[in-house]
Amino acid sequence: MASGNAIRGTRVGSGPMRWSERGDQAARQTVAYWCANGHVTEPSFAAEVQPPEVWDCPRCGQPAGPNRAAPPQPARAEPYKTHLAYVKERRSDADGEAILAEALARLHQRRN
Ligand SMILES: [Zn+2]
């Protein structure tokens, strides 16, 4: 339910965590990841670690990336995209055949 808030509330280094006062406090870095559905998650890593390029979104399971404007493509295409692509393919069938015939004709001309 409130997993996002829980993660934020326990972010290492930002809260009064007693164990970290004993000397085993490590430098942390927090990286924000956005998925294609607009969810954001902010896992934290040890400062010396190179954060991964992709992080699984905990809310929808899709891959999330550090670039908000260009999140990674979802593992599965969304239904409406598939349908749109299908419609596009259907509508350009005639054009596609004409283009293909033209390309083949050019190929033959080049060979001869
Ligand atoms: Zn998500």
What's the confidence (pLDDT) of residue 39? 96
Q: How far is the CA of 46 from the centre of ligand 1 (A)?
A: 24
Digit-coded pLDDT (tens) for 66-86: 999 999 988 665 555 666 666
> Residue 38 above 90 pLDDT?
yes
Q: How far is the CA of 61 from the centre of ligand 1 (A)?
A: 6
Q: How far is the CA of 35 from the centre of ligand 1 (A)?
A: 5
Task: Give the long-range contacts of residues 9-15, CB within 8 A, separation 24 or more.
Answer: 11/42, 11/44, 12/44, 13/44
6-10 average pLDDT score: 53
| pTM for this prediction | 0.46
56-64 average pLDDT score: 94
Task: Please report, rounded to a whole number, the percentage of residues in the chain having pLDDT higher than 70.
Answer: 59
